[in-house]
Chains A and B, each alone.
Chain A
Amino acid sequence: MSTREADRISAAEETLNTLFDISQLLNTGLDKETLATCVGLIEAGVNPEALAAVIQELRRESAAARSARSTTNGR
């Protein structure tokens, strides 16, 4: 039982690694942790394209927040 569990975990690890490699190749800019979260979401049935849009949004938001912060900081 435990070996099967271990197998499962290692397989998941492997899959995640592969996906991460692809992600790197495609230059998506996701780190492993985020990727894992996203894959989890997708497996849960979330629409992948919508998820991509979400990522975009969050990034933009983050950038905007950062710039806003930097400008306020600079002031």
Chain B
Amino acid sequence: MSAAALELESLVYSLVPWARQDESLKRQLVAHCEEILSSHIGHSVEKDIGHLADLIKRHILQTSPTGSSTLRFTNLLSRLLEQPVLNRKHASLQFLHSLASTPAPTPLATSFLPSLAPPPPTRPSSRLTSKASSPVDGRPPPRGPKGKSKAEILREYRLQMGQPHIPEHLILRDTLYLLQGISGKYVQFSVTKDAEQNKELIFAEDPRYYIPAPTRALIHRLAEVGYLYQRVDSFVREREGKVGVGMIEQSLCHHLQTQLTEYYRLIAVLESQMSIVSQTKVEANGVDEERGREEETGLTLKRLDVWIEDWRLRMRMMSVCVEGARDAHGGALVNLIHGYAENGDPFIRKFTNQLLEEVSKPFFATLHKWLFSGELYDPFSEFFVAVDPELAHLQYMQPSVQGVGQLASDGGFGGGDFGDISEERAGGLQLWEQKYRFQEDMLPAFVGETFGRKIFSTGKSLNFIRYSCHDSDWVATREKLSNTGGTLKYSDIVGLERSIDTAYQIASQRLFDVFFDKYRLLDHLSALKHYLLLGYGDFTEQLMDTLGPSLSRPANALYRHNLTATLESALRSSNAQNDSPDVLRRLDARMLEYSHGEIGWDVFTLEYKVDAPIDTVLDPAAMVKYLKLFNHLWRVKRIESTLNTSWMRIAGGAKTFLRIPELDYDWHQIRLVMAEMIHFVRQLQAYCHLEVMECAWQDLLTFVQKKEGDLDALIENHRKYLDRMVKKVLLLSPKAGREENLLNQVRDVFILVLQFREATDDLYNYCLSESARRDAEKDAARGVYTRTEQGTDRRYTQESLPGILDRVKDYGASFSERVQAIVLSLASHPDLDCRFLGIRLSFSDYYKMKKEQQQQQRA
């Protein structure tokens, strides 16, 4: 301490030179200095040298506005910081700054020491004595009694002019009115309503008072809240009176109303504050004198602004919501609000989340009902699932009753009920696909597209189980469903997703079970495969054999009862009789609509009848595809059986008892061509059955066994299965306009085969009669007369032989040509399986070699 005292002494000497002479003065001063030093001055020291440097710079700028001195200071500071000597550079700087920021000592006339002049009141963060008032940090130092501020001058000028500034308490009351959307005495909302109902603030021209511009600006700021309040309030009121306001909107209004109540509370508090002020003001004598006190306790416009700041944001949000609610509706409204939830400002985020929680309540109520009981309770169509009003009333009849009824009415497969049935069927898929619509724009964004789809599908499945399948287990299922999820809330999105998932799985599972266990969908599918796609070989063979002769007749000579009877006998005589009667009763034979000149082969078709709710999967369009497939396969089968019988003739008969040596070569040729034909048809059949149908079936079965997805997936998979078969069996190519090119070629080939067969039959018959004639001649030569009668069959004479041979040759050649063309176009078919069929058809490059030969010959 002694060293410090020594230094202090030297300090005193250097600053107060007289102290050298006056020992007592010196002692007094030193003691005083020590007292100051040990006092609590400046304990709130900032340790940040950067901040300090900033303060100093600002000070320098104040004293000398040119930037050069600041620059110099920065240089000096950096140089100082480089120096290693001082330990407390920061403290030194602070010392300098403190010293500099105090104004130069005014020559006050205080002669005696202890009664030191009151400390300069504006020293930042320095309190000389505890009794001194504590000025707010950072307040700019007053310029001393230099004179009045310009504002004051203006105020006085106006006072002199007889138009004083308006007292704040008056304008404050008006402002509070404004906050409630009510016009005040001095400030009013304009009554003119233009198109957007924008209101303007009008400052009433009161001759007694003048409202200064800053106050006006402040009031403008404050009045924004009032204006927004008006909008929100009018919205709420408007909705209150209306009927048919959506539930989501209702809950929005409810939430807004609660918010507005809060707002009223705030206004009430503010008002009470103001009344205190005005009371004090009444007591006070002058306005100006009391200003200081008022500033500390009461309400001012500026204070009001701070109070209301929070609400300004809130009102803005609400007003935006209100604005959006005018054209958005239901889920879209929720979506709109959700859009504001993605905000960086935690206040807005919190507010929006709160709002959303409220607003989405009815949405979740609807969702719960939809998700767990499959019922759409949505009186104002706000949900993202919409019901088709035309189909809403449509519900299935009890299927079992309907089935029985159908069987009864179908007794004897009486014709004429086609129309009814197909109409009824249209309902199945239509009901599933169109009864409920998915509306993307109504889907709240926080749910997400995939989950929306899942919800949609779940509810649809449940609805379907309930109304279309009349599931007796329904109640149990619903119980199970309801227990899985708690209440659905916006704040619990994860839980929501989980319960959606479980509900979806359970509902889909249930629907699958219903379809496969109760309605035996798989049985029907395999029945379709066995009958319509000719999976049962023995049955097909039987049918072909018994039906063949009658189908060759013109279509108009065919009768349905004959066909059904044949079908029945074919069923009974084949393995098909072991199928369940439920399947067999659905099988029907009928004729397509025929035109003049068509024969039975063209119009005959098998049919499989399905009813609700199976027809959701096996919809009429699918049945048409099945029929198409059947038609084609039936033709192939016909060609096959034709060739079979023919081959038996020429292979067996022609070799054994047709002894016409000069035609042996022709027969050989015929056998060659026919072998080619058989090869063609066999390959085609094998391809259809083994490569296409079985593979597709396998895929379908794997899907069914997995039991994943919903009814939509099932429909989709079945459709895929069917489409795949149609595309490959019918050799359809994806080229637009030329889809059926190949199919037509194949059909041409079929016709050629039939014609060839006819020609060979003719030749056979000719040979038969010719050999019979020769036999008779030989017999006659031997003296045995075996000829019963002559010339009855004039068709096959020596003269007709060249014609027949020509036809045979022609058909054979053009068949080969066509097949070659088919192989060629199959080779460039986009479908791999079809291309493979081409390879199978020309496995030994037979057609390729043939083509080369032809080219060589041509060359």
A residues bordering B, Cβ < 8 Å? 8, 11-12, 14-15, 18-19, 21-23, 25-31, 33-34, 37-69
Whether A61 contacts B88 by the Cβ 8 Å rule is: no
Whether B96 contacts A26 by the Cβ 8 Å rule is: yes
Write out the residue numbers on chain B whose beta carbons fall within 8 Å of the beta carbon of A28. Answer: 96, 99-100
Per-residue 0/1 for B433-446: is the Cβ within 8 Å of any A Cβ (1 yes, 0 no)? 00000000000000
Additional pairs, 12, CB under 8 Å, beyond known A49-B42, A60-B116: A14-B79, A14-B83, A27-B63, A28-B99, A38-B11, A38-B92, A46-B37, A50-B41, A56-B120, A60-B108, A66-B18, A67-B111
A8 CB, nearest partner CB in chain B, Å:
7
A68 and B22 alpha carbons, distance in the complex (Å): 14
Whether A18 contacts B32 by the Cβ 8 Å rule is: no
Q: Which residue of A lies closest to B95 (CB)?
A: A48
* Interface residue from B59, B83, B99 paired with A55 (Cβ < 8 Å): B99
Whether A42 contacts B41 by the Cβ 8 Å rule is: no
* Interface residue from B12, B33, B86, B97 paired with A43 (Cβ < 8 Å): B86
Instruction: List B residues 71-92 near A (Cβ within 8 Å).
Output: 72-73, 76-77, 79-80, 83-88, 91-92
Any chain A CB within 8 A of the CB of B736?
no
Interface size on B, residues (CB 8 A): 66
B772 CB, nearest partner CB in chain A, Å:
142
Whether A63 contacts B96 by the Cβ 8 Å rule is: no
**Given A18-B79, A25-B69, CB of A63 within 8 Å of CB of B126:** no
Whether A51 contacts B116 by the Cβ 8 Å rule is: no
Whether A26 contacts B59 by the Cβ 8 Å rule is: yes
**Given A42-B92, A58-B11, CB of A22 within 8 Å of CB of B29:** no
Any chain A CB within 8 A of the CB of B826?
no
A41 and B11 alpha carbons, distance in the complex (Å): 10
Write out the residue numbers on chain A whose beta carbons fall within 8 Å of the beta carbon of B87. Answer: 43
**Given A58-B29, A59-B105, CB of A52 within 8 Å of CB of B95:** yes
**Given A26-B60, A46-B4, A49-B94, CB of A59 within 8 Å of CB of B15:** yes
A53 and B110 alpha carbons, distance in the complex (Å): 17
Any chain A CB within 8 A of the CB of B39?
yes
Whether B76 contacts A21 by the Cβ 8 Å rule is: yes
Any chain A CB within 8 A of the CB of B7?
yes
**Given A22-B73, A22-B93, A34-B14, CB of A52 within 8 Å of CB of B98:** yes
Q: Which residue of B lies closest to A23 (CB)?
A: B96
Total CB contacts across the A-B interface at under 8 A: 168
Whether B116 contacts A57 by the Cβ 8 Å rule is: yes
Whether B128 contacts A37 by the Cβ 8 Å rule is: no
Q: Which residue of B lies closest to A51 (CB)?
A: B95
Whether B15 contacts A62 by the Cβ 8 Å rule is: yes
A69 CB, nearest partner CB in chain B, Å:
7
Main secondary structure of the interface of A (DSSP, over half): helix
Whether A33 contacts B117 by the Cβ 8 Å rule is: no
**Given A21-B76, A25-B76, A61-B113, CB of A56 within 8 Å of CB of B83:** no
Whether A56 contacts B76 by the Cβ 8 Å rule is: no
Write out the residue numbers on chain B whose beta carbons fall within 8 Å of the beta carbon of A45. Answer: 88
Whether A40 contacts B7 by the Cβ 8 Å rule is: yes
B91 CB, nearest partner CB in chain A, Å:
4
Whether A49 contacts B116 by the Cβ 8 Å rule is: no
A44 CB, nearest partner CB in chain B, Å:
6
A14 and B37 alpha carbons, distance in the complex (Å): 28
* Interface residue from B16, B17, B85 paired with A12 (Cβ < 8 Å): B85
Whether A39 contacts B113 by the Cβ 8 Å rule is: no
Whether A44 contacts B107 by the Cβ 8 Å rule is: no
Whether A37 contacts B14 by the Cβ 8 Å rule is: yes
Whether B80 contacts A22 by the Cβ 8 Å rule is: yes
In this complex, the member of B15, B108, B111 whose beta carbon has the largest number of chain A beta carbons within 10 angstroms is B15
B180 CB, nearest partner CB in chain A, Å:
51
A49 and B39 alpha carbons, distance in the complex (Å): 11
* Interface residue from B8, B15, B98 paired with A48 (Cβ < 8 Å): B98
Any chain A CB within 8 A of the CB of B552?
no
Write out the residue numbers on chain A whose beta carbons fall within 8 Å of the beta carbon of B94. Answer: 48-49
Instruction: List B residues 95-148 near A (Cβ within 8 Å).
Output: 95-100, 102, 104-105, 107-111, 113, 116-117, 120, 125-126, 128
Q: Which residue of A lies closest to B77 (CB)?
A: A22
